[in-house]
Amino acid sequence: MTNTSIVQRVAIVGGGSAGWMTAAALTELFKDLPISISLIESNQVGTVGVGEATLPHLRFFNQRLGINEPEFMKFVNATYKLGIEFVNWGQIGDAYIHPFGDFGVPANGVDFHHYWLKARAMGLGSPIGRFSLPVVAALEEKFDFPRSDRSSWLSTYSYAYHIDAGLYAKYLREFSEQRGLIRVEGLINDVALNPCTGFVESVRIEGGQSVEADLFIDCSGFRGLLIEQALKTGYEHWNKWLPCDRAIAIPSASNSSPLPYTRATADSAGWRWRIPLQNRVGNGHVYCSDYISDDDAEMKLRDGLDGEALASANRLRFNTGRRRKMWNKNVVAIGLSGGFLEPLESTGIHLIQLAIMKLIEFFPDREMEPQYQREFNRSMDMEINRIKNFLILHYNATARDDTEFWRYVRSMSLPTELEDKIELFKETGHMLGYREGLFLEPSWVAVFLGQRVWPKRLDPRLAKISEAQLLSKLNKLEKAIKDDVDEMPLHVEALDDIDSQVRQGWRKTGLNLYGR
């Protein structure tokens, strides 16, 4: 029997990464359903397009759509990514890597970082990163695919990509149009609302064309053309915790082999990113305009470029926060229209794909069931809030007091949940954990210890192991990881192999998502 209440017309407003990822997912995963999908965008409207660093979750999004990894990587000039290096965050001169993988292995129910902390107090000189295979591999510029054999250290990590976001959108446009997507070119100059329900009924394009739909997906960026300008949903600002409100991006020529990790270098009023692609380097400066001018921020960015600038600077303004509802009536906001968390941990594309998959999970009928909307909004709010807290930690867990900016973030009041988590770790070395969420315990350990947050006490069960036993075990572990990394190919060799993978047809045995 045909379900006449099913959503039959979906209109995506806006392109860029958010719009075309949404289009690709819907056209592929709903290809057997009687749903017409259109996307409205204008060549006159630019996209932000600076988000070039991703998280491992993008691999699984692409796999779900049947995208061939080597072909995708070749098209978007991608490199592999094992983690993010943070420079000058705890103190000037410090550096650590937040990896896509674990630190050591727990034993007797006690997390590995407790054993490392005890050994450190006994004089162990090796940083905790020496006990994480992706950290060691990243620093030695190595890369190999994770193994499925759980007995191997090569199974203890995942990986992501550095990509050209503009080329990724282009790739997905071709992918979507091959699957029947209807692209509408033009600027939207009017939004029609139903006078009884308040639902969006149609949008009008310059020139007079009207596009009607049952469900609208707002991918219009910061302006929130439907979710905010039409529906007045409201925005919750988080500037008091994440005060950076500007960014400048400049691509540059590369003068060395691309590294298999992103670099985030703390500066006087924010931080600078460095993202290596196959054909260039992506550079940016995220900063707070209360503490530095736009011109000075651009000068700092240009002074730090490795090679010649390849384009003029792209200046952006933003407010960190989120819409009070990402799904309101028959409009779902995905991407920047739903909220913005600065790119410190490369979460932008992850939040896009999470919203897409949540929408598919709770895909409504034309009545827009309120329970679906509530669960979608609850899930997205929980995820965004947990990411927010993790980002705040980077700023607050610092000993820096060399500028007014750093004095502010180290002393600012914190969300209660984050404050409790920090205090528990400082006292006991344990964390208030959760099963759902992007950044699980290894991620928090990386930032806490990388930024010199040392617990006062450790798990009392460590008393069972002698100092000699502990040091022996850690020395063997460090050597085992180093031996495995020594056998890995160089990152540049793995990139060179992409063409042959495309020619031969690509197969590999992979590991499930980090944080499994």
DSSP code for 36:
E
Sign of CA dihedral 64, 65, 68, 70: negative
- List for the chain the helix, strand, coil content (%; round to 5): 40, 20, 40
Helix residue ranges per DSSP H, 77-202: 112-121, 133-139, 165-178
Cα 223 from Cα 460, distance rounded (Å) = 53
> How many other β-carbons are positioned within 10 Å of the β-carbon of residue 279?
13
CA-closest candidate to residue 14, choices 175, 149, 173, 180: 173
Cβ proximity of 133 and 104 under 8 Å: no
368 token code pair: 């827009």
Backbone dihedral region for residue 333 (phi beyond 0: left; psi -120 to 50: alpha; all else: beta): beta
CA-closest candidate to residue 164, choices 279, 85, 260: 279
Amino acid at site 118? K
Cα 35 from Cα 433, distance rounded (Å) = 40
> How many other β-carbons are positioned within 10 Å of the β-carbon of residue 244?
25
303 token code pair: 């002074």
Q: Please report the beta strands in 123-276, taking only residues with DSSP state E, as ranges in sequence order.
A: 160-162, 182-185, 188-193, 200-205, 210-212, 215-218, 235-237, 246-252, 262-266, 270-276
Cα 199 from Cα 203, distance rounded (Å) = 12
How would you class 32 by CB atoms within 10 Å of its CB: exposed for 0-12, middle for 13-18, buried for 19 or more?
exposed
Active site residue: 74, 81, 473, 482, which one? 81
> How many other β-carbons are positioned within 10 Å of the β-carbon of residue 93?
7
CA-closest candidate to residue 243, choices 446, 48, 95, 413: 413
378 token code pair: 């609850």
Tell me the β-bridge partners of 286.
247, 271
SS3 of 137-168: the string is HHHCCECCCCCCCCCCHHHCECCEEECCHHHH
**Is 479 annotated in the active site?**
no
64 token code pair: 């779900």
CA-closest candidate to residue 481, choices 173, 138, 201, 221: 138
Q: Which residues are catalytic?
A: 81
